[in-house]
Amino acid sequence: MYQTKEKYGLFTSIAMIVGIVIGSGIFFKSDNVLIGTNGSVLLGIAAFVIAALSIIFGGLSISELAARTNKPGGAITYMEVFSGKKLACSFGWFQNYVYYPGLIVVVSWVVGIYACTLFNLGDRLEIQIGIGFIFYSVCFFYNVLSAKFGGYFQNATMVLKLIPLAVITVFGLIFGDPAANLALSAGSVGSATLFAAIGPVIFAYDGWIISTSIAHEVKDSKRNLPLSLVVAPIFVTLVYVLYFVGITSFLGADQVMVLGDSHVYLAATQLLGGFGAKALLIFVIISVMGTVNGLVLGYIRIPYSLALRNMIPWSESLAKENTKLGMPVNSAWFGYVLCIVWTLVHYLTTARHLLPNSDISEISIAVGYAFYTIMYFQVFRLWQRGEIKGWFKGILCPFAATTGSLFILFSCMQSPLFVYYAAFCILVAIVAYIYYTVKKPQELSQF
């Protein structure tokens, strides 16, 4: 039987969510949010708040499922226990083969983008992706060698990544004109669309669900996991909105849209000079590194979780845990190989401009919310059976979470390539469903 090993406390659990969520998204997608809203800062703020509400209610709903099982696997486990093994296999394959590796590759690419800016290496895509590849390779290596080191790195980067956000926010609000900025943006609300901003916003928020992959390793998880799934999104939303208002007040929404990803460096240069800007950019890079670390921290356990259920090829090997390291080493390397494959996919789609104003991660994030609604419905069913008490936990939370998820899904359907990418995600899920149906696997003995 699997023995739960509690390694992480409340602070690490919160740090994991904050560390994954705050990192690349707010720096990398602020211009995309403004492009989506036609420069309306007010609608951008509204998009951040709507996404936050969806996540908060979603977190509260999923924490009800987490409180009723201590098996490893996070969301995969909840899908298995409350929705059935076939759906769990489909969801697990989606996470394992599409969601996690694509997200790790894209966020690592952001590390490369800002590293090239810092060291004046130009903007060649090959160099940016190459740097990202080197970093996530190192990240896999040290997370395998020491789970505690990965946790310590997550805690440290959570604190450090707030420095550039705080500096730009404070100076932007002081030296900019937030009142005039918001008043000016109000005039464009009528011609703008909120839907177009949701894709970039959910990328900026994505990662909260990943904390459930270590739920069985969180100390007093029945108390600490719900707390972290509420506290972290509220904190992140406050940071995002303040930064968004600060940067647009200082540079102006139009200039942020024109500058794209380089708007952070320009703002830092104007505020702090060349040396100060480079120092701040180092903190930005550390911030994004923290996001990659959190993603890897969650991902290395996904093939392992599927293998314990015998839901994936080579399960006997992938389910082995290195007793000395206390880590599923084979699972980690399996995920690493998939990341290499998605690095090639990301390079081809970006080099050929197949996903304008987007990347390989955004649509898979939206498809993930479709899976989450299945779990939210199970919370409602638990309330119907009397296992969850009170209308707030049993009705309001799953209803609000589902409404938010459907809004996110509908918004992302506006992308012309959504149908094709979503079809690929669904195909992966269908293949998994057939795989489980044909094989009819049994759980491995140590689970």
Mean pLDDT of the chain: 83
Q: Amino acid letter at 144?
A: V
pLDDT-derived band at 223 (thresholds 50, 70, 90) equals confident
* pLDDT tens digits along 273-332: 888 888 888 888 887 888 888 788 878 888 988 998 889 998 889 988 877 777 888 999
pTM check: above 0.85: no
| Domain boundary assignment for the chain | 10-439
- Nearest CA to 398 among 383, 415, 414, 386? 383
Give the pLDDT confidence score for residue 165 in this predicted structure.
84
* pLDDT tens digits along 90-123: 999 999 999 999 999 999 999 999 899 889 898 8
What gap in Å lies between CA 227 and CA 219, rounded to an integer? 12
| Least confident among 25-29, 307-311, 443-447 | 443-447
Domain 10-439 has CATH 1.20.1740.10: yes
What gap in Å lies between CA 416 and CA 309, rounded to an integer? 37
Q: With a cut of 50, say whether residue 27 has pLDDT above it.
A: yes
Give the pLDDT confidence score for residue 445 in this predicted structure.
46
DSSP per-residue string spanning 200-252 = HHHHHHTTGGGGGGGGGGBTTHHHHHHHHHHHHHHHHHHHHHHHHHHHHHHH-
pLDDT-derived band at 191 (thresholds 50, 70, 90) equals very low
Give the pLDDT confidence score for residue 347 in this predicted structure.
95
- Nearest CA to 297 among 362, 214, 236, 361? 214
| Residue 8: φ, ψ to 5° | -120, 135
Give the pLDDT confidence score for residue 353 in this predicted structure.
81
170-173 CB contacts, 8 Å cutoff, 24+ apart: 170/246, 171/246, 171/250, 171/271, 172/243, 172/245, 172/246, 172/247, 172/248, 172/249, 172/250, 172/251, 172/267, 173/242, 173/245, 173/246, 173/249
Sorted by sequence, the CB contacts under 8 Å of residue 387 that are 6+ apart come out as: 68
* pLDDT tens digits along 235-272: 888 989 999 999 999 988 888 888 877 888 888 898 88
% residues pLDDT > 70 (the chain)? 86
What gap in Å lies between CA 124 and CA 319, rounded to an integer? 40
| Residue 347 vs residue 211, higher pLDDT | 347
